[in-house]
Amino acid sequence: MTFVFTPPTQPSVAVEDSDDRFPVRRIFCVGRNYAAHAREMGKDPDREPPFFFTKPADAVCDSGTAVSYPPLTENFHHEIELVVAVGAEAHNLSVADALSAVWGYGVGIDLTRRDLQLQARDMGRPWDWGKSFDQSAPCGPLHRGHLAALDSAKISLSVNGEVRQTSELRSLIWSVPEIVSLCSAAVVLKPGDLIFTGTPDGVSAVSPGDTLVGSVDGLQEIAISIL
């Protein structure tokens, strides 16, 4: 069998303290998973079932990337997020068993064309043009294994040294095991899947020349610049 052209390179993310790379299969993202962010988006943060959207696997890019300011937007936002990396095939996982499918964790930024996302939301259209575009899923080096302080860890993001987002993972409306369990009820999770778990409040616009640094306690930072 021959392909009609050379297949694309396998999208992948760096692994902490290793030259190995984590091959990325799919990217799932959770919407409105911190109450204060739901409120700043004009929504009631009651514990409605979480909803998911996706980004293409090749939207992933490493820490250190200079991200091109994307077309079609005048309101390009950062969303700092804990990223869960799936390492096993998993379907209909219980919450109690959900972490058995987790390979590790990383710090990601769900880059968003906010104007396009809100326009789509308000018109009842898909979010894809607001969320799923080139270089829209930067992700720092993955830490293999479990996070010692999954509940008490702080999550934050600064732009040009000024803190814009800060919260704690315990403020997640839906916890990591709950998210993995729910995602595995909708699709068969496979090794290489990434799950962006939602962002706290403080999302804001960035411009060419800005430098973004994101962190979660216990994980390597992510730093990107905007071209």
Q: Does residue 79 bind Mn ion (CB under 5 A)?
A: yes
Taking CB under 5 A as the rule, which mask of x and - marks residues 203-222 in contact with Mn ion?
--------------------
Task: Report the nearest approach of Mn ion to the CB of residue 17 (Å).
Answer: 27
Instruction: Tell me the sheet residues that pair with 189.
Output: 90
- Please identify, among the stretches 37-45, 85-93, 107-115, 119-127, the one whose residues bind Mn ion according to the rule CB under 5 A: 107-115
Residues 6+ apart with CB under 8 A from 168: 151, 152, 153, 154, 155
Q: How many residues bind Mn ion, per CB under 5 A?
A: 3
Interaction of residue 108 with Mn ion, rule CB under 5 A = no
Which residues between 176 and 205 bind Mn ion (CB under 5 A)?
199
Q: How far apart are CA 150 and CA 113, in angstroms?
A: 29
Q: What is the DSSP string of 213-224?
A: EEEETTS--EEE
Least distance between Mn ion and beta carbon 9 (Å): 26
d(CA 122, CA 138): 27
Nearest-approach distance from CB 113 to Mn ion, in angstroms: 12
Task: Specify the residue, 30 or 150, whose C-beta has the smaller distance to Mn ion.
Answer: 30
From the list 57, 62, 55, 58, the residue with the least C-alpha distance to 29 is 55
Nearer to Mn ion, 15 or 31 (CB): 31
Q: List helix spans (H) across 102-207.
A: 114-122, 128-131, 176-186
Retrieve residue 189's tokens: 């999770």
Q: Is 33 in the site for Mn ion (CB under 5 A)?
A: no
Distance CA 73, CA 40 (A): 20
Q: Which window, 18-26, 72-80, 118-126, 173-181, contacts Mn ion (CB under 5 A)?
A: 72-80
Chain residues 117-146 in contact with Mn ion, contact rule CB under 5 A? none
Nearer to Mn ion, 52 or 69 (CB): 52
- Contacts of residue 45, defined as CB under 8 A and 6 or more positions apart, other chains included, come to 32, 34, 35, 36, 38, 39, 173
Could you tell me the smallest distance in angstroms from the CB atom of residue 131 to Mn ion? 8
Q: Which residues bind Mn ion (CB under 5 A)?
A: 79, 110, 199
